[in-house]
């Protein structure tokens, strides 16, 4: 300030003008920095959105169904608890979904024009669609450890006479036999037993 006292009026004005310009330059730099950060954030968000959309679309394009033709497959299914067979029955004669159902005939019917995932026709999926509890620990109202003929029982799965540990994950074979007698002979024979 003492130096400013020796200055002429014109010099003081010029100095004041320079100080104002310096202050404005600092404000401009701050404003530019704010705008740059704002634009960088917007660009980053847009880039992430575009990348996400690209990945979603590329996943859809690369999707290949498990089976891409019309199909009508079958498997035999029998359920026993303590030696007594449980008949699969429903009032309408059609239980489940078009993809995975039965017609009160102890036969699993798997039908459709395309099968997106093989899990859609798993044994677990079949039991889910007909609303019967099924896993390695239960079938219908029976759970491992419940009494069966005076002894603790256990759920077992047999496919074509062989013990199978896949339970809900078991995928029936692609058997295209159509007549019940042919289905009984050629297609998987699945037995769920609580014994």
CA distances (Å), origin 142, targets 79, 96, 155, 161, 184: 12, 21, 8, 22, 27
The per-residue pLDDT for 17 is 74
Q: What is the pLDDT of residues 101-154, one digit of tens each?
A: 999 999 999 999 989 899 999 999 999 999 999 999 999 999 999 999 999 999
Q: Based on C-alpha coordinates, what's the Rg of the chain? A: 37
Q: Residue 115 is encoded by which pair of tokens? A: 């099968």
Say what the pLDDT of residue 46 is. 85
Token readout for 124 is 């677990």
Q: Rounded CA gap, 186 and 176, in Å?
A: 9
Q: Per residue in 166-188, pLDDT tens?
A: 999 999 999 999 999 999 999 99
- Whole-angstrom distance, CA of residue 167 vs CA of residue 156: 8
Evaluate if residue 59 carries a pLDDT over 90: no
Rounded to whole angstroms, the Cα distance separating 188 from 183 reads 8
Q: Each residue of 60-70: pLDDT tens digit?
A: 666 688 888 99
Comparing C-alpha atoms, which of 86, 192, 106 is closest to residue 144?
192
4 contacts 12 by C-beta, under 8 angstroms: yes
Domain boundaries defined on the chain: 2-62, 71-194
pLDDT tens readout for residues 8-50: 777 777 777 777 777 777 777 778 888 888 888 888 888 888 8
């Amino acid at each position: 300030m003492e130096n400013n006292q020796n200055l002429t009026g014109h010099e003081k004005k010029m100095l004041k003008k320079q100080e104002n310009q310096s202050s404005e330059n600092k404000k401009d730099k701050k404003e530019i920095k704010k705008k740059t950060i704002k634009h960088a954030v917007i660009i980053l968000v847009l880039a992430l959105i575009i990348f996400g959309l690209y990945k979603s679309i590329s996943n859809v394009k690369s999707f290949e169904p498990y089976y891409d033709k019309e199909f009508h497959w079958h498997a035999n299914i029998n359920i026993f608890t303590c030696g007594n067979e449980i008949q699969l029955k429903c009032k309408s004669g059609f239980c489940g979904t078009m993809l995975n159902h039965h017609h009160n005939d102890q036969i699993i019917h798997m039908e459709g024009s395309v099968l997106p995932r093989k899990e859609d026709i798993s044994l677990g999926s079949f039991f889910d669609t007909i609303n019967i509890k099924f896993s390695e620990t239960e079938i219908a109202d029976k759970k491992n450890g419940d009494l069966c003929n005076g002894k603790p029982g256990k759920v077992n799965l047999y496919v074509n006479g062989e013990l199978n540990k896949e339970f809900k994950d078991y995928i029936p074979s692609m058997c295209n036999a159509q007549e019940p007698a042919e289905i009984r002979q050629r297609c998987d024979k699945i037995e769920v037993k609580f014994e």
